[in-house]
Amino acid sequence: MIYADLHVHTKYSADASIPPKTIVDRLHAHSLIKAVAITDHNTVEGYYKVRELASAYEDIIIIPGVEISAAGGDIIVLGVTELPHEPWTVKNILAFAKERQAIAIVAHPYRAYGLGDSAKKYTFDAVEVLNGSSASNANKLAQNLAKEMNLPGIAGSDAHQIDELWSAYTEIQASSNIDEILKAIKKGFVRVTSAGKSIHF
């Protein structure tokens, strides 16, 4: 079983302050959460820094990703180490993810910069149903959206500052292998947890 925070920003996001070294140190020190997806806004620079620092450790997993400011709302793509070409329409980003066998996730659909109900018009791989920085009613609506779209739900802290790390995370039925983790998310072998409590929806 892998416990992963699937939505974390580094200081390479314009609005975040977490140093890559802190993420690596905290992950190494954590007893349960040993995996993180680096999902900076429109850059993969932070991911490369974290990965480089993490290479000194064998017990932690760094999943490449990015949170794209698409027209209409934010989209998280996991499993990519480059940015899509512009224009960043939802359609273009989904095509970009598909070509790379990456995972396209509706980020915090019912918050500012969320796609909301318009996500239903497209084919995503998962919905972020538990965002550590969203209000509980927004997460509840996201859980309903995942049910309606028949998609797996994932969780992440959306940490922009150090003390927000790991506030929500995803339990994934996979071994310590990034490809396997991504496939397990796509298949829905996941459960979401916040403050130590599993959430069923």
Q: Which residues bind Zn ion (CB under 5 A)?
A: 67, 158
Considering the complex, what minimum distance in angstroms separates the CB of residue 56 from Zn ion?
27
Considering the complex, what minimum distance in angstroms separates the CB of residue 58 from Zn ion?
28
Nearer to Zn ion, 1 or 163 (CB): 163
Considering the complex, what minimum distance in angstroms separates the CB of residue 166 from Zn ion?
15
Phi (first) and psi of residue 92, to 5 degrees = -65, -40
Nearer to Zn ion, 14 or 32 (CB): 14
Considering the complex, what minimum distance in angstroms separates the CB of residue 177 from Zn ion?
25
Nearer to Zn ion, 18 or 60 (CB): 18
Residue nearest to Zn ion (CB): 158
Nearer to Zn ion, 69 or 123 (CB): 69
